[in-house]
Amino acid sequence: MKKRYVIVFVLMLFCLTGCGDTQKLVCTATTEEGDIKSYSTLEIKIKENKVSNMEFIVDMEFPREYQNQLPMIANNIKNSKPYMDVSIVNGKIRLITQDDPDESFLGIKIDQEITYSELKEVLELQDYQCE
């Protein structure tokens, strides 16, 4: 009977410490360049102090006078940046970039060793708001 309690205690401790758990850091930023306002969301998963997955989403909001040109602008972006998923969502151009082992987002690479708190600090220094 004692063995059972010891095993249950060890399993509970293992679950509570989160050994091997994946942490998700979500950071956002808003920037303005001329008449274009961009809303960025960066989602990074960290497992065992290594970046395991990243997704970068940018919604670009153009002034009203450019709305009829959005398909052409989106097409130009698709042609120049084929690694991005480009679409028009709610009158904005949405750019989605998934992780790529050969590339990096904001100087962060897949499999880079970094803790959750270090990564959060680095992104907040770049004016991201992280949760």
pLDDT band at 17 (very low <50, low <70, confident <90, very high): very low
List the chain domain ranges.
Answer: 20-130
The mean per-residue pLDDT over the stretch 79-86 comes to 91
Which pLDDT score, from 0 to 100, does residue 105 have? 60
Residue partners of 12: CB distance under 8 A and separation at least 6: none
Specify the range with the lowest mean pLDDT, choosing from 1-10, 18-27, 51-60, 64-73.
1-10
**Residue 108 to residues 46, 121, 124: CA-CA distances in angstroms?**
12, 13, 14
Stretch 57-80: mean pLDDT: 95
- Average pLDDT on 53-61 reads 93
d(C-alpha 15, C-alpha 28), whole Å: 30
Of the listed ranges 51-55, 103-107, 110-114, 115-119, the one predicted with least confidence: 103-107
Q: 124 and 114 in contact (C-beta within 8 Å)?
A: no
Q: Residues 36-42: what's their mean pLDDT?
A: 95
- Cα 43 to Cα 56: distance, rounded to the nearest angstrom: 6
Q: How far is CA 45 from CA 18, 42, 55, 129, 130, in A?
A: 14, 10, 9, 16, 13
Question: What pLDDT, on a 0 to 100 scale, did the predictor assign at position 32?
Answer: 95
Alpha-carbon distance of 16 to 105, in angstroms, equals: 32
pLDDT the model gives residue 21: 84
CA 18 distance to own-chain centroid:
22
